[in-house]
């Protein structure tokens, strides 16, 4: 999960407890790691004051209630709670894939090899946004 800090003190005014709502075994939260990385949208950070904190939790899909988390991500623009405004990435280290739902309008699926997600490409081809279609079609054809 990427959390942006806009150097205004607002990001961490309230306790960041997003993971605790969705992790089944609270003891797994001790495995949560935090790294500071350069702000992910440098074009929006003229002064260089912004930071991105990347939280990672190595776990199995059965360790948390991912469906509720996905619903919370989709709720971010709907005015419905719960909601998550941060970028959440589901990374499968065995298949080398990344699944990122950005809001209720869509998601990104990435892989180190097109063959890994070729079935997804064919099954959900009609879900591909038109402005991405040519670029994505070139990868799979």
- Model confidence pLDDT, tens digit, residues 59-85: 999 999 999 999 999 999 888 999 998
- What pTM, to 2 d.p., does this model score? 0.85
Distance CA 25, CA 68 (A): 15
CB distance 131 to 141 below 8 Å: no
Closest alpha carbon to 76 in 92, 65, 87: 87
- Strand extents, DSSP E, 1-141: 2-5, 33-38, 51-56, 90-92, 97-103, 106-111
* pLDDT score for 118: 97
| Residue 101 CB partners (closer than 8 Å, separation 6+) | 70, 73, 74, 88, 107
Cα angle 73-43-137, degrees, rounded to a multiple of 5: 60
Per-residue pLDDT tens over the stretch 1-43: 888 877 766 665 455 678 889 999 999 989 989 998 888 888 9
Closest alpha carbon to 119 in 105, 130, 109: 109
Per-residue pLDDT tens over the stretch 117-140: 999 999 999 999 999 999 999 999
């Amino acid at each position: 999960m990427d959390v942006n800090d806009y150097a205004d003190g607002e990001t961490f005014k309230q306790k960041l407890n997003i993971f605790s709502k969705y992790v089944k075994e609270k003891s797994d939260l001790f495995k949560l790691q935090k790294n500071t990385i350069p702000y992910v949208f440098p074009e929006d950070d003229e002064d260089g004051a912004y930071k991105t904190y990347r939280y990672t939790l190595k776990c199995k899909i059965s360790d948390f209630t991912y469906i509720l988390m996905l619903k919370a991500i989709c709720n971010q623009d709907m005015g419905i709670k719960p909601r998550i405004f941060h970028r959440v990435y589901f990374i499968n280290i065995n298949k080398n894939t990344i699944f990122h739902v950005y809001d209720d309008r869509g998601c990104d699926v990435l892989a180190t090899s097109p063959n890994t997600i070729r079935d997804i490409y064919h099954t959900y081809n009609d879900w591909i946004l038109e402005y991405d279609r040519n670029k994505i079609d070139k990868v799979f054809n």
